Amino acid sequence: MQTKNAAEIEPIVGRYIHLQLGGRDNRVYYEESVLAENTGIPFVCLHTAGADGRQFRHLMTDGDITRNFRVIAFDLPWHGKSLPPIGYHEEEYRLTTEGYVEAITAFCRGLGLERPVVMGCSMGGRVVLELALHHSEELRAVIGLEASDYQEPWYDTEWLHRPDVHGGEVCSALISGLVAPQSPDEYRWETLWGYLSSGPGVFKGDLHFYRQDSDYRDRSAQIDTDRCPMFLLTGEYDFSCTPEDTERTGRSISGSEVTIMKKLGHFPMSENPAHFRSYLLPVLRKILTMP
Amino acid sequence: MDKMSHVITHCIEQLPGLVNGNPQLVWRGRFLNTTFLMKIDSRPYYVTIKEGRIEDIQSGPALLRSWSFAVKASTQAWLKHWETFPEPGWHDIFSMAKTGQASIEGDLHPLMANLRYVKEVLAAPRAMIGG
């Protein structure tokens, strides 16, 4: 009898946690690397709008990251393998700042995470500004990927959820241009699959937070990076959250560190993981030296 | 005719072959029947699609010629868009539209309902130009 596994099994495990959000029970899915054996610094990753935590799978199998960090990614309710709450069929999904922060803090507290590093991309990069403003005492540092305090819209979100246009197809085709041309086809299409397979109206509902409920231009200067160090990394091909948006945001937040990433777009961790790690690892090394 | 205009003319001439010779692309556009306007500088090209195949490209201007949607940009913008690895900002028609280097107009429903297909048709000369 062969004792070795007959096939490759990745060192990633998934579980469900029940969170009370907005007074309702939510069955939330999360994945984490078992390479870390729960000893590293908690490193919570927030996916982009209309997608799910699979975007961070490459970080979970990267020994140079998991050696010191416990990489964890959860799917927001309505996303990925997290169900929408009971009664979803009678409502329009709309993410708010309040609801988003409630989900993140409830998840971190639910798992008993002590001063995690939180890294979010796109809308996840926006919400780390809110976390740094109001929850700095609970955090070790924040990393905003494709993050800014505001950005100009570039299409009408009414196209995203209507009966005469396939939602997954149009969401995917719209955001496909945010992937850098140099990113490998394999990972480009894996990234796009998250949008192709997203639930109806979910991307549009997330953009409610992103476009209508999170303009931080009047508040970002209040962020104290002595209490919560902040790193902002944006791909040069991101025309949604542009490098200029991130640089402007960085200028308003004293002590924040801005990096513009060459040959990357709006989804650095999933569109070109091998290239992205060359930007992420130096940031994580800095965080390791921080108290 | 200057060199850039010659390249553009060649790309437009080759576009039906590039699209119709790609069975997967034709399949993706199988529900699309329309004529859209592709404008390069001031020169209009009326691109007629039938079930995902380019049936005809008519070089204009043609008086009172109707079309569903239009994508308009300069010669330089189209050539930048068609590079193998376009520079940031030139790699996507929506990026070009956001910066004012292109405009997307008209009845957008056939465009949005077939967006991957149309973007791939418009980017098809990338395979010829490279660089």
Mean pLDDT of A106-131: 98
B65 at A interface, C-beta within 8 A? no
DSSP state of B71: E
CATH code of residue A87: 3.40.50.1820
The chain A residue lying nearest B95, using CA atoms, is A239
Measured CA to CA, the distance from residue A186 to residue A57 in angstroms comes to 14
A146 within a domain of the structure (yes/no): yes
Segment B77-94 mean pLDDT? 97
A165, A182, A241: best mutation site toward chain B, by most B Cβ within 10 Å? Answer: A165
Q: Which residues from A are below 8 Å from B when comparing CB atoms?
A: 152, 154-155, 159, 164-166, 169-170, 172-174, 176-178, 180-182, 236-237, 239
A129 in a structural domain = yes
- Over 60: is that where the pLDDT of A280 sits? yes
Q: Dump pLDDT digits (tens) for A60-76.
A: 999 999 999 999 999 99
Label the pairing between strands A117-121 and A41-46. Answer: parallel
Q: What is the 3-state secondary structure (H, E, C) of chain A?
A: CCCCCCCCCCCEEEEEEEEEECCEEEEEEEEEECCCCCCCEEEEEECCCCCCHHHHHHHHCCHHHHCCEEEEEECCCCCCCCCCCCCHHHCCCCCCHHHHHHHHHHHHHHCCCCCCEEEEECHHHHHHHHHHHHCHHHCCEEEEECCCCCCCCCCCHHHHCECCECHHHHHHHHHHHHCCCCCCHHHHHHHHHHHHCCCCCHHHHHHHHHHHCCCCCCCHHHCCCCCCCEEEEEECCCCCCCHHHHHHHHHHCCCCEEEEECCCCCCHHHHCHHHHHHHHHHHHHHHHCCC
Q: β-strands A24-33, A69-74: how paired?
A: antiparallel
Helices (H), B36-105: 75-81, 93-98
Give B-chain residues touching A159 at CB under 8 angstroms. Answer: 108, 112
| Element of type H or E holding B131 | none
- Determine the distance in angstroms separating the CA of A84 from the nearest CA of chain B, rounded to an integer: 27
Tokens standing for residue B61? 């201007």
| Percent of chain A residues past pLDDT 70, beyond the cut | 98
Q: Place B5 in a pLDDT band, splitting at 50, 70 and 90.
A: confident
Domain-located, residue A64: yes
Provide the pairing of β-strand A12-21 with B43-50.
unpaired
Average pLDDT for chain A? 96
pLDDT above 70 (res B131):
no
Instruction: Average the pLDDT over A121-130 and give the result.
Output: 98
How many angstroms away from the CA of B10 is the closest CA of chain A? 24
The CA distance from A162 to A168, in Å, is: 11
CA gap A82, B31 in Å, rounded: 34
Residues of A in contact with B112 (CB under 8 A): 159, 165, 170
Strand order in the sheet with B33-40: B53-59, B43-50, B33-40, B69-73, B102-106
Using the Cβ of B6 and the Cβ atoms of chain A, whether some distance falls under 8 Å is answered with no
pLDDT tens per residue across span A177-200: 999 999 999 999 999 999 999 999
Decide if A181 and B84 are in contact by the 8 Å CB cutoff: yes
The one-letter code for the residue type at A1 is M
Q: What is the pLDDT of residue A217?
A: 95
Q: What is the pLDDT of residues A219-270, one digit of tens each?
A: 999 999 999 999 999 999 999 999 999 999 999 999 999 999 999 999 999 9
**Could you tell me the residue range of the domain that residue A232 belongs to?**
12-288
**ipTM (interface pTM):** 0.96
pLDDT tens track for B100-118: 999 999 999 999 999 999 9
How far apart are the C-alpha atoms of A111 and A210, rounded to whole Å? 26
Q: How far apart are the first and last CA of chain A?
A: 50
Tokens 């991130």, residue located: A246
Does A3 fall in a domain?
no
A164: nearest CB among B88, B97, B109: B109
- Among B85, B97, B119, the residue with its CB nearest the CB of A173 is B119
DSSP B87: P
At A291 the pLDDT is 81
> Nearest by CB to B113, which of A165, A174, A182?
A165
Answer whether B127 touches A (CB < 8 Å): no
Overall domain count for chain A: 1
Q: What are the φ and ψ backbone dihedral angles of A225, each rounded to 5 degrees?
A: -80, -10
> Is there a cis peptide before residue B61, judged by omega within 30 degrees of 0?
yes
A7 is a domain residue = no
Answer whether B88 sits within 8 Å of A236, measured CB to CB.
yes
Q: How far is B112 from chain A (nearest CA, A)?
A: 6
Given an 8 Å threshold on Cβ–Cβ distance, is A178 in contact with B85? no
| Partner-chain contact A239 B89, CB within 8 Å | yes
pLDDT tops 60 at residue A19: yes
Q: Is residue A5 part of a domain?
A: no
Cβ separation B94–A154 shorter than 8 A: yes
Q: Inter-chain contact B116–A236, Cβ cutoff 8 Å?
A: no
Please name each of the domains of chain B with its CATH number. 3-129 (3.30.1050.10)
Asked whether residue A105 is assigned to any structural domain, the reply reads yes
